[in-house]
Amino acid sequence: MTRNLFDLAGRRALITGSSQGIGLALARGLAGAGARIVLNGRDAVRLEEAAEGLRAEGAEVRTLPFDVTETDAVRAAVDGFEAGTGAIDILVNNAGMQHRAPLEDFPAERFEALLQTNVASVFHVGQAVARHMIARGAGRIVNIASVQSALARPGIAPYTATKGAVANLTKGMATDWARHGLQVNALAPGYFDTPLNAALVADPDFTAWLEKRTPAGRWGRVEELVGACIFLASDAASFVNGTVLYVDGGITASL
Q: How many separate domains does the chain show?
A: 1
Question: Over 80: is that where the pLDDT of 1 sits?
Answer: no
What is the per-residue pLDDT across 33-54, written as a single tens digit (0 to 9) for each? Answer: 999 999 999 999 999 999 999 9
Inside any domain, residue 252: no
Inside any domain, residue 254: no
- Cβ count within 10 A of residue 59: 18
Determine which one of 159, 191, 192, 246 is catalytic: 159
Inside any domain, residue 253: no
Give the Cα separation of 92 and 13 in Å (integer).
Answer: 7
What is the per-residue pLDDT across 100-112, written as a single tens digit (0 to 9) for each? Answer: 999 999 999 999 9
Residue 184 near residue 173 (C-beta atoms within 8 A): yes
CA end-to-end span of the chain: 40
Inside any domain, residue 241: yes
Inside any domain, residue 185: yes
Give the range among 17-31, 35-49, 188-202, 226-240 with minimum mean pLDDT: 188-202
Q: In what order do the strands lie in the sheet with 36-39?
A: 61-63, 36-39, 12-15, 90-93, 139-144, 182-189, 244-247
Domain with 28, as residue range(s), is 2-247
Inside any domain, residue 60: yes
Inside any domain, residue 184: yes
Inside any domain, residue 102: yes
Question: Phi first, then psi: what are they for 85, rounded to 5°?
Answer: -120, -50
Per the annotation, the verdict on 159 as an active-site residue is: yes
Residue 109: which CATH number?
Answer: 3.40.50.720
Give the Cα separation of 184 and 237 in Å (integer).
Answer: 10
pTM of the shown model:
0.96
